[in-house]
Amino acid sequence: MPYSCNQTNLITTKKWSRIKAKENRLKATISSHLTKSLNQDLPHNQFITFAKPALPILEASALLRFQQFCRKLRDQAKALGRGLSYLWMSGIGARQGYHIHMTLYWPSRDKVRLEHTINRFWQVSLRPVLPDAAPLRSNCSSVFWKPLIIEEQSYENTALYLSAHVSKHVTQPLGRPVGKSILQ
For the chain, give every domain's residue range.
5-183
Does the pTM of the predicted model rise above 0.85? Answer: no
Q: pLDDT, tens digit, for every residue of 138-163?
A: 555 578 888 887 666 677 888 888 88
Instruction: Express as a percent the part of the chain with pLDDT over 90.
Output: 19
User: Within the chain, how many helices (H) and strands (E) appear?
Assistant: 4, 5
CB 173 within 8 A of CB 73: no
Give pLDDT, residue 86.
Answer: 95
Distance CA 131, CA 146 (A): 10
Topology of the domain covering 5-183:
Alpha-Beta Plaits (3.30.70)
Q: pLDDT, tens digit, for every residue of 27-77?
A: 888 888 988 998 999 999 888 888 888 888 888 899 999 999 999 999 999
Give pLDDT, residue 164.
Answer: 78
